[in-house]
Amino acid sequence: MNKIQILGPSKTIGEIKISGSKNSALPILFASLLVNEDIKIKNIPNIKDIYITLKLFSKIGVKIKKNKNLIINSKNIKKNYFPNKLIKKIRASIWLISPILIKFKKVKIHIPGGCKIGERPINLHLYGLEKLGAKIKLKDNYIIVKIKKKLISNTITFPQISVGATLTLILASILIPGLTIIKNFAKEPEIIDTINFLNTLGAKILYKKDKIKILGVKKLHGGTYKIIPDRIETGTYLIASVVSKGKIICYNTDANLLKNVLNKLKLSGAIIKTGNDFIKLKMSKRPKAVNIETLPYPYFPTDLQPQFTILNILAKGKSIITENIFQNRFNHVKELIKMGAKIKIQNNKIICKGINKIFGTEVNAKDLRSAASLIIAGCVAQGITTIKNINHIYRGYEDIEKKLCILGIKINKI
């Protein structure tokens, strides 16, 4: 049964190594499909979403060698065969469209999967591809995209910011002759990491404040690249330390990737010191309540909203958490109420009234980040917290039980 138990309350004290970013590794892997030479990728996190992606790649003919680093070669990709079961497991499979379309002029894949945190539409991905001249058809949950003659460079302004759609458009544009310009694009560090990766392979992508300029090249060559640290994994452990009044050092991370989050943790009373590859955090008292509002980068990331909720339910004072990115990213709220939290949902807001203690009980994880939120809750709750469906957590957190044990958390799988 995929359950874990945590005996609280414990302080998280210790030093951990942050893994490579899941949301950088995924677009970089899909971008690699554009290249017919060996690519060596370093700092790939060993997590389920990566495992599923590599399984999908091997099924379509990508050559994969995995030792400490990953070496992939996409020269022998077979035509349009995509196992639905794998496509439906992860949201990232949407990024198959651009590379396969460019290689075979036609692609047909099932609508992708991903965490159940709202609709997860793909209209913005398709909007961008149409602007480049692609012909799109949606039929019985399949997306069919064709290029009549060839894709044409263009200037595209997204009606709404989307990480995934920005990446779909970048991947579709880099081999189109001429200048493609993308406006109102997502500025997440993982986008920049993918741009830097592609430029290492010979792409010509210029990232400016208000636009991305892409000068088409004939082909990309092989190379080596190291993935940036995972800012969401970093933020998750830092929040666990604040709520448990602990003391933690996160190594192999980069404070510049989560400035807004660090500011909010300082506002809650945490003492934070940073260096070029570490973040030190100490918390000796009950946190102060801090209002947060999730927005596209560089503002507070939606992927840390469920975790930050634990800080506010145990803080001194009242607070409001506003979720502006996903329609339903509150799967953790009902579970936290079972633990005694004084919170309620009002439209896209969580209204929090800080209390002193929450209590261990049986709770249910429904997606990756709400699973992370419940683990933090279990660390600080009085008594035993049993988390059902914990398998969600392995999608995005490498060696999480090991890292929590290093931090002194009493956790075991049942």
Which residues contribute to the site for ligand EPZ (CB under 6 A)? 22-23, 26, 91-92, 115, 118-125, 162-165, 186, 188, 302-303, 325-326, 368-369, 396
- From the centroid of its chain, how far is CA 43? 15
The dihedral of CA 194, 49, 60, 148: what is its sign? negative
Q: Which CB atom, from 247 or from 392, has the smaller least distance to ligand EPZ?
A: 392
**d(C-alpha 238, C-alpha 261), whole Å:** 10
DSSP 308: H
Burial class for 266, CB neighbours closer than 10 Å (0-12, 13-18, 19+): middle
| CB contact at 8 A, 223 and 200 | yes
Respond yes or no: is residue 115 known to be catalytic: yes
Q: Name the pairing type of β-strands 318-323 and 292-294.
A: parallel
In 3-state terms, what secondary structure has residue 371?
A: helix
Q: What is the DSSP string of 319-350?
A: EEEEE-S-S---HHHHHHHHTT--EEEETTEE
The encoded tokens of residue 49 equal: 């979403």
Question: Can you name the residues that pair with 320 across neighbouring β-strands?
Answer: 351
DSSP 210: S
The encoded tokens of residue 129 equal: 């591809």
The encoded tokens of residue 58 equal: 């091997």
**d(C-alpha 320, C-alpha 326), whole Å:** 16
The encoded tokens of residue 180 equal: 């493609």
Q: Which CB atom, from 10 or from 330, has the smaller least distance to ligand EPZ?
A: 330
User: Which residues, in sequence order, are CB contacts of 185 under 8 Å at separation 6+?
Assistant: 158, 161, 166, 169, 191, 211, 212
Hey, how many other C-beta atoms are within 10 angstroms of the C-beta on 100? 23
**d(C-alpha 91, C-alpha 185), whole Å:** 19
Residue 340 main-chain phi, psi, to 5 deg = 105, 5
**Residue holding tokens 């060698």?**
65
Residue 50: closest CA among 323, 388, 398, 310: 398
| CB contact at 8 A, 82 and 94 | no
Q: Which CB atom, from 115 or from 404, has the smaller least distance to ligand EPZ?
A: 115
The encoded tokens of residue 392 equal: 């969600």
Using CB atoms, what's the residue nearest to ligand EPZ? 164
- From the centroid of its chain, how far is CA 125? 18
Enzyme catalytic residues: 115
